[in-house]
Amino acid sequence: MGHLGLTPQSVMAFGGFRVQAKTMESAKLLIEDAQLLQDEGVFAIVIEGVPSVVGKSVTESLDIPTIGIGAGPDTDGQVLVFHDLLGLTNRQPAKFVRQYAISSRDHRGDSPFRRGRPKWGLPE
Does the pLDDT of residue 98 top 50, yes or no? Answer: yes
- The active-site residue, picked from 40, 48, 60, 124, is 48
Domain map of the chain by residue range? 1-79, 82-124
As a three-state string, the secondary structure of the chain is CEEEECCHHHCCCCCCCCCCCCCHHHHHHHHHHHHHHHHHCCCCEEEECCCHHHHHHHHHHCCCCEEEECCCCCCCEECCCHHHHCCCCCCCCCCCCCCCCCHHHHHCCCCHHHHHHHHHCCCC
Query: How confident is the model at residue 122, as a pLDDT?
Result: 47
Q: What is the pLDDT of residues 11-65, one digit of tens each?
A: 656 666 677 888 999 999 999 999 999 999 999 999 999 999 999 999 999 999 9
Q: Above pLDDT 90, what percent of the chain?
A: 47
pLDDT at 86: 78
* Annotated catalytic residue 32: no
Q: How high is the pLDDT of residue 51?
A: 95
* Residue 30 contacts residue 58 (beta carbons within 8 Å): yes
Per-residue pLDDT tens digits for 64-84: 999 999 899 999 999 887 777
Confidence of residue 103 (pLDDT cuts 50, 70, 90): low
